[in-house]
Chains A and B, each alone.
Chain A
């Protein structure tokens, strides 16, 4: 998790606020296009930063389709308990899982996360979803795909493909979850590895 300070590590901004916004607008339209409309759509954000991205996407979808109530199609899906690295990381308290009132049975669920990397988080998310219901389709939308997959998983919608070395760190900072010097901040940076 990024704690935002005057970083001693060299950091390169790859997406600024406007870039992020443009990427989300494009993803929102892609989602509507591949779903042929907003019917049965449910956006599930993966904590922490997938959830605010899901909320933003829902708003963009609602902007494109006035029939959509953005609050009614967004949920949060916590995958902590389903991770395969629980015993290799410090203990993490779970985040709440909140589904839209409609549930997810027979819905088109779009999982939203900030960065796609090894694919293990998404694997956990797929398991978590199955314990909650049976969606008709599950798709994946991410802001950044940085490569280095360890599982046969790919994203349906990608904000930006970002070739990285595995030593580098990709930091997504969103105003809903991050700030710098008390100021909300929206950007994606690459930090050189140690």
Chain B
């Protein structure tokens, strides 16, 4: 693994490697000294073309726990007011000796551009690009699900997959990088995914994806589900006629109190409710659902640091510049 750009091309081997390593990283987070010297001397740049305090501080915490130097670079630039070009920014970071670039960008594919061009020779981690992918979010979601699923099965999380787990992902799939990354990763890990959304918020071509699609959240819940992931819905979508009103949206596709009761009624006592945050309480998720014992929202945040530590460690710790031969004896 040289970069982490998407989950679509992430093999089962590498996915498990990241999740298993994240388990060890999580243990570090529970110690008094929450720091490892593994990336001492390495420089990680958080290059954010789009505001996301949550994702940035999660990566920052991850890098710092591994003793890397962290540079935060908020490159504000919209499609209208172009600032410095991505190429110039990348070359600047290369000149500063960045070993890894964690990039958040409003444009789909921007991390791929960084990785594919010779603008910079650093490991590239996609921290969310446009409406394309958000692989570390999917990995932390999978990590959260795997801990839950393995515990139910009486197994250790490490080494486990998600075979047999039924996951519903509900909301604005069309504009969601979280949904895309989760669909690919959960497929790889063996879960069965159902996307639930209004037809207007599903992409043309979704029928080719390795999941089922439903327009009916209640029906999906009734069929039985082990995790329900609610996606953030922007109220402004209403203005582009993706749905008539936020009220109608939350009635049909929001996880409201009635649906929370449905889980109890049909005996799904172990079903968890997930949300990548930030939540629109009252729109896609009710306050009661968000705060219920089923909610994994805060574990997701916690697990985010572990998963990002794992990704940074696996991308940055390997052989880098010179061949190892003359530098080290066999490592007994």
Contacts and interface: CB of A to CB of B under 8 A. Distances in A.
Would A and B touch once assembled, by the CB under 8 A criterion?
yes
Interface residues of A, number: 35
B interface residue count range (under 10 / 10 to 19 / 20 to 34 / 35 or more) = 20 to 34
Given A81-B37, A93-B17, A88 B329 contact: no
Contact of A96 (B24, B32, B33, B328): B24
Contacts, number: 83
B93 to A, nearest CB: 19
Interface string B195-221: 000000000000000000000000000
Given A81-B36, A88-B319, A88-B322, A94 B24 contact: yes
Interface string B313-331: 1100111111010011111
A116 interface: yes
Nearest to B24: A94
B23 to A, nearest CB: 7
B21 A93 contact: yes
A158 to B, nearest CB: 14
Contact of A121 (B35, B66, B327, B331): B331
B320 A81 contact: no
Nearest to B328: A85
A91 B33 contact: no
Given A82-B37, A131-B35, A91 B318 contact: yes
A87 B318 contact: yes
Contacts of B32: 133
9 contacts: A78-B24, A81-B313, A90-B318, A91-B317, A131-B33, A131-B35, A131-B36, A132-B31, A133-B32
Interface in A29-83: 78, 80-83
B160 to A, nearest CB: 14
Contact of A89 (B35, B321, B331): B331
A169 interface: yes
Nearest to A142: B332
A81 B320 CA distance: 16
Query: Is the contact region of chain A dominated by helix, strand, or loop, or is it mixed?
Result: loop
B332 A94 contact: no
A161 interface: no
Interface string A151-174: 000000000000000100110000
A172 B38 CA distance: 27
A48 B27 CA distance: 19
The 9 A-B residue pairs with the shortest CB-CB distance, nearest first, are A91-B318, A117-B332, A81-B38, A81-B36, A131-B33, A115-B332, A88-B324, A94-B24, A86-B317
A111 to B, nearest CB: 14
B27 A85 contact: no
A155 B38 CA distance: 25
Contacts of B69: none
